[in-house]
């Protein structure tokens, strides 16, 4: 198992930035009572890694850790099934020369059935995980956007570009132009959510759907 289900699902979900972009549009500015003068002077422009910044907030870290904890039993179950399949394969290889054709075919069918079950369960778990992560992200992202908007208005920024998506027009930006960290700090202060405890350095690595597919194709090649 090269990568955990949590890592794969989180990367695949990409924190559902597209959905957030549709549901977290800037609110319409109130109509001015009198005509305002056109802006003068240089306009400050900044960049932000919006998705990683949301995930880096205390609230984001706590919410995503909670989702991971919820899916930990399923991860353990998938790892157990994967280990069971590996053991059956090794036993088949060890006994290969002494098995009758019927016995070998029976064992191959058993392994194939278990691999198909593993693949289905892993795909379902990944889909459920992505949905849970997306919901957690969107709830925080909407609030994070409001803090970002207030910060930019208070500090005279005329435009902010998100550099965490492939569609961003930003091809280069200086470190000084990146306001990700400062807005995360601003959000943490306003949310009042304490930093979650540090995660353990090591964690179980249950099977991924991609690994399950690879394993099944290997088995059927016998």
- pTM equals 0.67
Which among 6, 26, 14 is positioned nearest to 164, based on CA atoms? 14
**69: number of Cβ within 10 Å:** 9
- DSSP collapsed to 3 states, 145-213: HHHHHHHHHHCCEEEEEECCCCCCCCCCCCHHHECHHHHHHHHHHHHCCCCCCCCCCCCCCCCCHHHHH
| Percent above pLDDT 90 for the chain | 60
Among 15-19, 81-85, 192-196, 204-208, the range with the most confident prediction by mean pLDDT is 81-85
The rounded distance, in Å, linking the Cα atoms of 80 and 216 is: 16
**pLDDT above 80: residue 213:** no
Residues 141-153, mean pLDDT to the nearest whole number: 95
Question: What is the rounded average pLDDT of the residues 65-91?
Answer: 95
Q: Is the pLDDT of residue 204 over 60?
A: no
Contact between 122 and 212 (Cβ < 8 Å): yes
Q: Calculate mean pLDDT across residues 147-163.
A: 93
| pLDDT exceeds 80 at position 19 | no
Mean pLDDT for the chain?
77
pLDDT tens sequence across 181-191? 999 999 999 99
45: β partners: 159
């Amino acid at each position: 198992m090269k990568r955990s289900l949590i890592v794969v699902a989180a990367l695949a979900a990409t924190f559902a930035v597209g959905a957030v972009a549709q549901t977290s549009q800037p609110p319409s500015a109130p109509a001015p009572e009198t005509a305002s003068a056109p802006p003068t002077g240089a306009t400050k422009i900044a960049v932000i890694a919006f998705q990683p910044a949301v995930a880096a907030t205390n609230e984001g870290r706590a919410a995503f850790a909670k989702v991971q904890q919820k899916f930990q039993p399923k991860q353990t179950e998938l790892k157990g099934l994967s280990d069971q399949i590996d053991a059956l394969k090794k036993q088949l290889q060890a006994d290969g020369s002494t098995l009758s054709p019927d016995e070998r075919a029976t064992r191959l069918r058993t392994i194939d059935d278990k691999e198909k079950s593993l693949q289905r369960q892993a795909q379902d778990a990944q889909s459920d995980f992505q949905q849970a992560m997306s919901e957690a992200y969107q709830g925080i992202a909407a609030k994070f956007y409001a803090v970002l908007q207030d910060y930019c208005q208070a500090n005279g920024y005329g435009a902010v570009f998100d550099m965490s998506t492939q569609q961003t027009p930003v091809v280069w930006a200086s470190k000084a132009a990146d306001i990700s960290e400062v807005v995360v700090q601003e959000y943490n202060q306003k949310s009042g959510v304490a930093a979650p405890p540090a995660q353990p350095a090591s964690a179980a690595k249950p099977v991924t759907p991609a690994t399950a597919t690879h394993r099944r194709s290997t088995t059927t090649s016998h």
